[in-house]
Structures are given as C-alpha cells and as structure tokens.
C-alpha cells in the first residue's frame, strides 16, 4: 500500500491528526497494534482544555461531548482544612470540559469508520525504515509506503525506537511519588475538580460523569494496589480531601508513576513524533491529551502547507514550534506537582513554604490568573 501520511497509533494524537488531514483532502492510513475494544476501553485523562474542546466541535466530532461532557468554570484548591475556588472563566474568559479521553477516542474512531478511511487495528508495526512502515496484520507481514510518518504510538512505541542512535535527545525527571487512582460508581462530592494538599499527601477529586468519579491519592513509588483495600482508600480520600465522599463500587484501581520526559528534536527526516511518543508530563496539570492535540494541530498545518504549495517552512519549524509549548507545559505541570505533593523527607520549613505558596496563589488575582490561563490552555501565540 501507499499513502501520503502513515500514522502509527490510534490514540488521540493519531486520530486527531487523521481527522485534520481528512478535512484538508490529504490521505492517511492509521496502524494500531491493539484491538479496537482495547483502545476504546483505556481509561485515561478526562480534562479537555478550552481549545481542545473547540477543535472537536470544529471538525464535527463534538456533539456527544456537548451532550454528555461537563463544562467546568473553575477548580478548587484545598489546604489547611479550607477550600479556595479558582474562577477560570472570570480570570481567562475560558472554561474546561470534563469528558473522558476514551470517549474522545470513541467519537474519533466512529467518525473515521463512517468516512470509510483506512484504520487498521491489531496491526503491529515492527519497523520504521525511513518512510516505509513494516507491520503485521491478520498474520501477514505487509509494507506501507508513505511520504511522511507520524509516530503517535506512545512512550514505548516503535517509531521513536526506530530512529537512528543520536537522532534525538531525551530529558527526563522521575518524581518521588506516584498516584493511586480509582474509578468508582459514586456521586461526585463537588461540582468541580478539587486538588488537595494535606500533611498526609496529595489527593484529587475529579469525575467522568455525575455518577462516575475518578479519585487519586499520593503514594510512594512501587506501591502495590492490593495493599490498599477499597475501604482504606475511601477513608484516606475523605481525610485528605475534607469532603463527604459517598463510597461506591470501585471499577478500576491502579498505581501510576510520576515522571516528565521531553524528546527533541521531534522530527528526523520525514518522521515526526507527536504526543506521548515525544513527551510525558505528570498528570497534575491535566495536560497529556491536550498537549498531544496541540502537537498534531501544528503538524497538520505544516503538512497542508506542503501539499498545497510545496512549502517546507512549517515542516522545518515543527519541532521548535512544538517544543516551545512542551516546555511551558512541563514548567506548569512541574509547578503544580511540586506545590501540591508532600516529599517523603520534607521538613517543617518546606511544609510551611508550600502552604505559603498555596495561600499566595489563592489570595492574589495575578497568581490565580497565572494558574488559570495555563490550566484552560495556553493560547496559540504563547
């Protein structure tokens, strides 16, 4: 087979890129190593920046999001036993939408399927040789010849691993804590997301629907989820959040390590990296999906310019353009993480500094605006 753009991975980055290219009349083929059921069932992020939600509307896959998603106009920071609301809409004129990443993926897959354009599940890419993708599908080894390759296959994907040695550099940071997360069938205890700093550690109250909550606790790296029975989790959440949580059946339980990774440049020849294939951010700032979408918007614009008038300028600038935003998002996510988590060896002085930081952020309009404009999503010109 031959296509203009071969896309490795059917996560948000790959699917959004394919949709943007489709609207510009540029053909593409998506190869995904997992099954459709697996891809649509992966529980991931649930916060869409203002611009991400607007883009889904713009290219015709936002109807269900607008029906079922929840528009939030603020978030709450809790510390010292009290809650402090950050009014996102008042401070920035923009909002966020709570809508699960897996739901975004379902909507994009449905649109791709309806268009009848190539999307192959259970198609494992085994090698990237320049712009040739070798993959196995239905037991047959095949090749896909491309003008360009978009590696949207995550942090452990084959695209980045196939680049020659020294082609890219990686900057990494591991954090001294992890998140124990649960998805539970229980009513939300607050109308908006709650980020809590507590002497026992960080906690987060979020939701996927009014009846499904997503809750997190700071735990040490390497924590075994089995060491946390459901009752213990609910008790600890109530303590740290200071909310009257109503317990319900736990649908999923997992521990996620906290780390930051940036790969640069995000391009080698005609192979481009996007989303988690190029960077990972700690989840505190709710930026993973949104940063992936920002990447492929830049890439799609560059590819459209190339096919429209032969211009290479935007393609050549792709990595530099994306990395400016990537590092800004890393800065914000690192700041949120550092402000809200208790290091295991923290002394009383450090504890007081964190409380002072939180008091300043919630007590100063200037500081609150800084948080708010990053949280709802940096504008394109930033």
Q: Which residues are catalytic?
A: 72, 195, 283, 287, 375
The per-residue DSSP string of 159-205 comes to HHHTSPTTS-EEEEEEEEEEEEEEEEES--SSSS-EEE--TT--EEE
65/96 Cα distance (integer angstroms) = 12
Closest CA to 259 of 342, 177, 160: 177
Tokens at 261, concatenated: 């990774």
Tokens at 77, concatenated: 């920071």
Closest CA to 193 of 54, 13, 354, 340: 340
> Which residue bears the tokens 């009290």?
82
> How many CB atoms neighbour CB 120 within 10 A?
17
286/329 Cα distance (integer angstroms) = 10
Q: Which residues partner with 136 through β-bridges?
A: 124, 141
Opening angle at CA 291, ends 13 and 121, nearest 5:
15
Closest CA to 171 of 274, 277, 279: 279
Opening angle at CA 40, ends 37 and 43, nearest 5:
120
Q: Is the dihedral of CA 34, 39, 45, 50 positive or negative?
A: positive
φ, ψ for residue 333, nearest 5 deg: -65, -40
Q: Which residues partner with 6 through β-bridges?
A: 29, 149
Q: Classify residue 280 by burial, with Cβ atoms within 10 Å: 0-12, 13-18, 19+.
A: buried
Tokens at 235, concatenated: 């008790």
């Amino acid at each position: 087979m031959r296509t203009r753009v071969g896309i490795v991975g059917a996560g948000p980055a790959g699917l959004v890129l394919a949709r943007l290219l489709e609207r510009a009349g540029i053909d593409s083929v998506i190869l995904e190593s997992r099954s459709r059921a697996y891809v649509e069932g992966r529980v991931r992020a649930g916060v869409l920046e203002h611009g991400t939600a607007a883009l889904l509307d713009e290219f015709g896959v936002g109807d269900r999001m607008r029906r079922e998603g929840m528009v939030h106009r603020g978030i709450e920071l809790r510390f010292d036993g009290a809650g402090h609301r950050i009014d996102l809409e008042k401070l920035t004129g923009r909002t966020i939408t709570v809508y699960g990443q897996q739901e975004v993926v379902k909507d994009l897959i449905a649109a791709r399927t309806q268009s009848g354009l190539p999307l192959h599940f259970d198609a494992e890419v085994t090698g990237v040789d320049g712009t040739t993708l070798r993959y196995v599908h239905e037991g047959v080894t095949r090749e896909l010849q491309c003008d360009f390759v978009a590696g949207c296959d995550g942090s452990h994907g084959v695209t980045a691993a196939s680049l020659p040695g020294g082609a890219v550099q990686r900057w990494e940071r591991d954090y001294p804590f992890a998140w124990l997360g649960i998805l539970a069938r229980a009513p939300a205890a607050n109308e908006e997301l709650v980020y809590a700093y507590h002497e026992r550690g960080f906690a987060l109250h979020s939701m996927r629907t009014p009846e499904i909550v997503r809750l997190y606790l700071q735990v040490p790296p390497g924590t075994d989820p089995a060491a946390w029975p459901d009752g213990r989790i609910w008790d600890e959440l109530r303590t740290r959040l200071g909310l009257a949580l109503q317990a319900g059946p736990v649908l999923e339980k997992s521990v996620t390590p906290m780390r930051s990774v940036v790969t640069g440049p995000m391009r080698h020849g005609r192979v481009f990296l996007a989303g988690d294939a190029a960077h990972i951010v700690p989840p505190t700032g709710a930026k993973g999906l949104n940063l992936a979408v920002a990447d492929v918007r830049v890439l799609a614009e560059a590819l459209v310019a190339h096919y429209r008038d032969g211009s290479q300028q935007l393609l050549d600038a792709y990595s530099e353009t994306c990395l400016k935003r990537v590092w800004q998002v890393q800065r914000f996510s690192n700041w949120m993480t550092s402000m809200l988590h208790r290091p295991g060896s923290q002394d009383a002085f450090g504890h007081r500094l964190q409380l002072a930081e939180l008091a300043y952020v919630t007590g100063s309009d200037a500081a609150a605006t800084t948080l708010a404009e990053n949280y709802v999503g940096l504008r394109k010109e930033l």
